[in-house]
Structure 1
Amino acid sequence: MSRVVSLILATLLCLIPLAHAKAEDAAQIDTPMVLLKGVPFEVTVTAALPDESSVFLQLNGQTFESRVTEQVATFSGLTADSDSIIRVTDTAGQQLVAKEVPAIAGWLSVVPAVLAVAMAMLLRNVILALFTALVFGGWLLYGLAPAGLFKSVLDSANVWAVQAVTDIEHMQVIVFCFLIGGMVGIVSKNGGTMGIARWMSGFIRTRKQTQASTSALGIAIFFDDYANSLIVGNTMKKISDTMRISREKLAFLVDSTAAPVSAVLLVTTWVGFQVGLIADGVEKIADYQENAYGIFLNCLAYTFYPMAAIAFVFMVALTGKDFGPMLAAERRAFHTGKTLSPGSSNGEEGSPEERELDPKPGVPLKAINAVVPMLVLIVATIIGMVYTGWYSPDRADDSLREIIGNADAFGSMMWGSTIACLAAFFMTLWQRLMTSEEITSAWFTGARSILLVIFVLSLAWSLSAVNDALHTSDYLILALGEKINPYMMPTLVFLLTAFMAFATGSSWGVWGIMMPMILPLAWAVMAFNGMTADESHMHIFYACVAAVLSGGLFGDHCSPLAESTLLSAMACGCDLIDHVRTQMPYALVIAGASSVLGTIPTGYGLPWWVAYPLVFGALYAVLAYFGKSAEEPWEQPAKAAATKAS
């Protein structure tokens, strides 16, 4: 009997520290994973304590008090200059919870983003750059401890990548991109997209009509820039050769109606990517209510570069005028019939990407097989947005902007793309153009082309999460918030993003780095200047978002490393260097007019609807003054040299 009593007493004695531990564990503390020295941070404590009771936080010899509200106490404005143990006690002095948090210098929080850009510039590999930056950022979260480096490598996949792709909105973007890619595969294989091009070619009679038709076709095939470049380039190549249009000119028309169109229209693979990044940036802004798609719609008014690029394409096509290296290429083609430059490395053979998009042999090329799925995609998405926006609990009035702004954009785009895929599938099957197995294979071929996009997107989301955990934006706000002129910030953002995209050749990778950082920084700069409470200054915020998008497009547009540039040159059978050399002067003129007459004055308050006529007018004036028609009499350089020698 005594042994039983002794056993019970021993058990109770063992349970006493466990009970104490459970009481302490009942309190939870939420702190940053790592502290930035000198940068304010916040600590939240959750404990089963009565409302209005006090809890005390001890940090580096200082004690802070906070009141409990609904079992939550918040401590704000804390700072630390070294690794710290944060202890929380109740009024009786009993410790509720404690946590040790490492501290690093604030400037280190910017290193992952800078590292990503620098490595991408040096190695010309955005994926490797993003992964390396992700690992280093994870190592910073462990306070640069030696063992933390190995843990951060494992966390890159097990923690950050998993969190990125399992987020509901991120997964919706991924599925949407796969669905759009699959639909592109079906309508390419069943002859639909080629049917659009064939139908339009029946109206072409002159060089100007050829160029205008190429530009219009580039806008018609808006849903994906890769499909745009490959389909339009390969379709119009023989027609433009017949009309003695240089391959350089064809590549410019294709390239300038691929990425810019895909970036600004409302239902494309690009929009899903952009909205996802905007959503990541907005999450870092406290008490900001507008959803990501609403911000995207508002920023379109300030995307001067892509809008001006599209307008300039039609100016060049309809006037028949060119200047600079493009004029020389056009004169060569028109007067000698040599559409390719001497010694061009490109021939007439089709590329692997082109062959993958070739229609199935023997299928009729009917435009309706592509037009119907595209219209279904657009109409179904718009209906979904109106429906979800109308029944949104956050809708304040019946205005279209309010309805669209509160719509479930991701869900609506998924509805539209799903229905569009089904429309393409059943139209193809009903006409017996392909078997169900062939249609499925075509869908997977199209979806497979999106894998690289998804991988870059996942890494960008992961790096964004690491930057968030490092409180990078908090450091930038503290360091730069009071020093940046808010009216010039959109222009500075455009120039920085353009340089990064040109150096790396990837607008998507640069957007993934910049967008989640620029949005909270722009908002903080406005807050420092007392602008966030006045809606009349919201144009600065929207212009900064637009500047990231526009800068990425411009840099990507001019870079020989950019996939869209490579695909456009390849599809048109144009030498890559010739394409870059002839297109870059046009892109620089467009970017200059967009910045000087668009981004800068609208930053200072000029209405966007006044800026656009100024930008377009300046571009037309440059073309009218410096441009000449290739059809005008021209003395070939070789003949001119012989004449001078004689």
Structure 2
Amino acid sequence: MSPSLGQEKGPIEVPDPVLSGIEFSVSVPGDSSLAARGAPTLRVAGASFSLSYDATEGAWTADDVSVASSGSANVEVVANDAVLRSTTTRTIPGWLSILPPLLAIGMALLYRRVVPALFFGIWVGAVIAIGITPWGAFKGLLDSFQVYVLNAMSSSSHVAIILFSLMIGGMVGIISKNGGTLGIVERLTGWASDSKRGQMVTGVLGVSIFFDDYANTLIVGNTMRPVTDRLRISREKLAYVVDSTAAPIATLAFVTTWIGYQVGLLGTAIQNIDGFAQGAYSVFLSSLPYNFYPLLTLFFVFLVAYSGLDFGPMYQAERRARETGEVLGKEAKIDEAASEGEELQPPDGTPFRAVNAVIPILVLVGGVLGGLYATGVQAAGVDAPLRDIIGEANSYTALMWGSILGVLVAAALSIGQGILDLEQTVEAWYEGLKSMLFAMIILVLAWALSNITEVLHTADFLVSVLGEWLPPGVVPALIFVLAAATAFATGSSWGTMGILMPLVVPLVWAVLVQNGMDDPSHYHILYSSVSCVLAGSVWGDHCSPISDTTILSSMASGCDHVEHVRTQLPYALSVGTVAIVFGTLPAGFGMPWWVGLLVGAALLYGLLKVVGTPVDTAEAPAEAPA
């Protein structure tokens, strides 16, 4: 049987493998009759651990189990020296757990080929999970595809994202073929007459679609790509603006698909705190001002756009686009259908009517919002506040509803006006869908690698390494680094939040209690720590080439994924460094949050003025080469 988290091996449920020196939980299914021969205890590799009975779960559990050395470990349930149940697990060194994501990241950056890098990381992780032997290498290769890739595609939420992405691609194919997209281009370029305005429009659209990061990325990237191409804005810059407005605004807005998840995590964590009566949503709102990275990222996006200054690899990409019209580098690797789009050019004589694109997009957005409200009301009740309704909504259902409605409306407009016949409409939909297939492969592999990191307890190892010493003043900053490192290695901001939030909130409260600081005057440390889980997760996600949202940004923008990561990284690192050093760290020692934001914004402005170089925009905008 292939290893999996919480796998039941005989009569004892124990993770396999486990990390040496890292605590894990063991569950022994059965009722209280297990104690008939005396109080049962758990013996692992010769060490004893207490078992407690959970009547709700119908199992005996031990939550603080650890094994000091690597190798095979016997796991036994013992009562009065009699072994009642037994099994074995395998213990591996903790550093092995970070090897798969590190290898995947390194290969992606070194060889600029994401698919083999991701698959290699999955393979290495599968081998580590099974055992580093010749047989393990062969079986791990098979499990990479049969177990981990299959598991990534068996999740209903993952399938929903794939279907939504494909439908978005299909809708874009139709509105491109019917001339609607070119109609938008003509309208927007009337105001977005240069690269600065083009970037500003893209940023405004990114902030406007605040309710979901996936929808934001796919809609803004696909809609603005023809506009930015005409204005000679590099695909790298488009991907940066798309990526840097999607998750930051989704984690900051009061009513988004993120809220239910984040507040749910907070609610569970707060339940374990004695003496703290504030509600989860109230804590979330109180933490927003301390979300320095998302706030400063949004500021920096518009600052870069308005100033016309760039630095690092992004400057080179922008100069290439302005001077040659090549919005993609010569060695860029993207799907041909997305980069060329010849099949989606409107037939000769097609009227360029922006309404044929605007209406389907509005229906898409309205369908998603309507779906969020409908599913939220079903879950939270019709009398619930709007923020609770949206927070309880099923975002995946809403995304699927909106996408299919957008496709149907785009098709109806095309056929109804006689612009396309039914066969041409279906072909346009299919061509648009094909442009998403390669990115979907990357996305599935990224999910599979995330599954590997869960099996190998990568996050637990990072927590143990980085979270051992937490003095109160630097707690938020250390949590920010921990969250960023975890999100970078796992490629999942949501996964990082889910792992760290239940650990961080009780841990921070324990530190405050230990130092006599568990009073409202020091709650800012707790608020800042909560925000740092969220902000650090987004920062690490922005910097990681295996992040699903980073991949989607590259896909929607038609940008080489490695080039997107390479050009965005200096900007994300700059904002992240300013956020943690001049925002999070001083706030932990009591500096007002608004001072941190003002200082951070001023420093980013100064940084851009010092290291940034103007990108020549004197040349008239021209069509980017096909």
3-state DSSP class of the match of 1:392? Answer: helix
Q: Which of 293, 299, 311 in structure 1 is aligned with 2:302?
A: 311
**TM-fit CA distance, 1:141:** 2.1
Q: Give, in whole Å, the separation in 2 of the partners of 1:160 and 1:381.
A: 30
3-state DSSP class of the match of 1:389? Answer: helix
Q: Give, in whole Å, the separation in 1 of the partners of 2:507 and 2:537.
A: 21
Q: Which residue of 2 aligns with 1:401?
A: 387
Q: Does 1:216 align with 2:204?
A: no
In structure 2, relative to structure 1, the CA distance for the partners of 1:258 and 1:613 (3 Å cut) is: same
Q: Which of 33, 52, 57 in structure 1 is aligned with 2:16?
A: 33
Q: Which residue of 1 aligns with 2:138?
A: 150
In structure 2, relative to structure 1, the CA distance for the partners of 1:264 and 1:358 (3 Å cut) is: farther
Over aligned residues, Cα RMSD in angstroms? 5.4
Q: Give, in whole Å, the separation in 1 of the partners of 2:228 and 2:297.
A: 23
Structural mapping, 1:454-473, within 5 Å: 454-473=440-459
Structure 1 gaps of 5+ residues are 1-24, 241-246, 501-509, 634-646
Q: Give, in whole Å, the separation in 1 of the partners of 2:44 and 2:571.
A: 59
Q: Give, in whole Å, the separation in 2 of the partners of 1:182 and 1:233.
A: 16
Q: Which of 371, 374, 377 in structure 1 is aligned with 2:361?
A: 374
Q: Give, in whole Å, the separation in 1 of the partners of 2:326 and 2:394.
A: 53
For residues 133-154 of structure 1, give each alpha carbon's deviation from its aligned partner in whole angstroms, at most 9, with x where no partner exists.
Answer: 2222222222434422222211
In structure 2, relative to structure 1, the CA distance for the partners of 1:600 and 1:191 (3 Å cut) is: farther
**TM-fit CA distance, 1:542:** 3.1
Structural mapping, 1:167-246, within 5 Å: 167-203=155-191, 211-213=196-198, 215-216=200-201, 219-220=204-205, 232=224, 234-235=226-227
Q: Give, in whole Å, the separation in 2 of the partners of 1:160 and 1:280.
A: 27
Q: Give, in whole Å, the separation in 1 of the partners of 2:265 and 2:435.
A: 27
Deviates more, 1:428-437 or 1:221-230: 221-230
The answer to whether the 8 Å contact 1:59/1:87 transfers is: yes
Structural mapping, 1:161-560, within 5 Å: 161-203=149-191, 211-213=196-198, 215-216=200-201, 219-220=204-205, 232=224, 234-235=226-227, 247=232, 254=238, 256-264=240-248, 302-316=293-307, 340=323, 352-392=339-379, 398-483=384-469, 485-489=474-478, 492=481, 512=491, 516-517=495-496, 520-521=499-500, 524-525=503-504, 527-530=506-509, 536=524, 537-550=526-539, 552-553=541-542
The answer to whether the 8 Å contact 1:519/1:541 transfers is: no
For residues 398-442 of structure 1, give each alpha carbon's deviation from its aligned partner in whole angstroms, at most 9, with x where no partner exists.
Answer: 443333222222222222222222222222222222122222222
Q: Which residue of 2 aligns with 1:42?
A: 25
Q: Which residue of 2 aligns with 1:59?
A: 44
Larger radius of gyration: 1
Q: Which residue of 2 aligns with 1:112?
A: 100
TM-score (norm 2): 0.71
Q: Which residue of 1 aligns with 2:62?
A: 75
Q: Give, in whole Å, the separation in 1 of the partners of 2:9 and 2:325.
A: 77
**TM-fit CA distance, 1:31:** 0.5
In structure 2, relative to structure 1, the CA distance for the partners of 1:599 and 1:100 (3 Å cut) is: same
Q: Give, in whole Å, the separation in 2 of the partners of 1:567 and 1:180.
A: 10
In structure 2, relative to structure 1, the CA distance for the partners of 1:169 and 1:308 (3 Å cut) is: same
The answer to whether the 8 Å contact 1:58/1:87 transfers is: yes
**TM-fit CA distance, 1:30:** 0.4
Q: Give, in whole Å, the separation in 2 of the partners of 1:521 and 1:469.
A: 16
The answer to whether the 8 Å contact 1:30/1:44 transfers is: yes
**TM-fit CA distance, 1:32:** 0.9
**TM-fit CA distance, 1:386:** 2.6
Matched letter for residue 142 of structure 1? I
The answer to whether the 8 Å contact 1:56/1:91 transfers is: no
**TM-fit CA distance, 1:303:** 0.9
Q: Give, in whole Å, the separation in 2 of the partners of 1:118 and 1:630.
A: 31
Structure 2 gaps of 5+ residues are 1-7, 210-214, 273-278, 331-336, 513-517, 619-626
3-state DSSP class of the match of 1:33? Answer: coil
In structure 2, relative to structure 1, the CA distance for the partners of 1:452 and 1:47 (3 Å cut) is: same
Q: Give, in whole Å, the separation in 2 of the partners of 1:61 and 1:133.
A: 34
Q: Give, in whole Å, the separation in 1 of the partners of 2:490 and 2:326.
A: 37
For residues 440-460 of structure 1, give each alpha carbon's deviation from its aligned partner in whole angstroms, at most 9, with x where no partner exists.
Answer: 222222222222332222222
The answer to whether the 8 Å contact 2:436/2:555 transfers is: no
What fraction of aligned residue pairs are identical, expressed as a percent? 26
In structure 2, relative to structure 1, the CA distance for the partners of 1:107 and 1:631 (3 Å cut) is: closer
3-state DSSP class of the match of 2:509? Answer: coil
Q: Give, in whole Å, the separation in 2 of the partners of 1:427 and 1:443.
A: 13
Q: Give, in whole Å, the separation in 2 of the partners of 1:181 and 1:342.
A: 25
TM-score (norm 1): 0.69
**TM-fit CA distance, 1:307:** 0.6
For residues 521-558 of structure 1, give each alpha carbon's deviation from its aligned partner in whole angstroms, at most 9, with x where no partner exists.
Answer: 565455444269987524433333333434554688xx
3-state DSSP class of the match of 1:100? Answer: strand
Deviates more, 1:219-228 or 1:306-315: 219-228
Q: Give, in whole Å, the separation in 2 of the partners of 1:325 and 1:141.
A: 39
**TM-fit CA distance, 1:257:** 3.5
The answer to whether the 8 Å contact 1:215/1:254 transfers is: no
For residues 559-611 of structure 1, give each alpha carbon's deviation from its aligned partner in whole angstroms, at most 9, with x where no partner exists.
Answer: xx99978997989xxxx99xx99x99988876665555555555666666665
Q: Give, in whole Å, the separation in 2 of the partners of 1:158 and 1:631.
A: 51
Q: Which of 50, 71, 76 in structure 2 is aligned with 1:87?
A: 76
Matched letter for residue 311 of structure 1? F
The answer to whether the 8 Å contact 1:119/1:129 transfers is: yes
Q: Give, in whole Å, the separation in 1 of the partners of 2:527 and 2:174.
A: 42
Deviates more, 1:338-347 or 1:306-315: 338-347
Deviates more, 1:592-601 or 1:354-363: 592-601
For residues 352-407 of structure 1, give each alpha carbon's deviation from its aligned partner in whole angstroms, at most 9, with x where no partner exists.
Answer: 434355334332211111211222222222222233333325x8994433332222
**TM-fit CA distance, 1:261:** 3.6
Q: Give, in whole Å, the separation in 2 of the partners of 1:603 and 1:399.
A: 32
**TM-fit CA distance, 1:217:** 5.3
In structure 2, relative to structure 1, the CA distance for the partners of 1:562 and 1:64 (3 Å cut) is: closer
3-state DSSP class of the match of 1:84? Answer: strand
Matched letter for residue 467 of structure 1? T
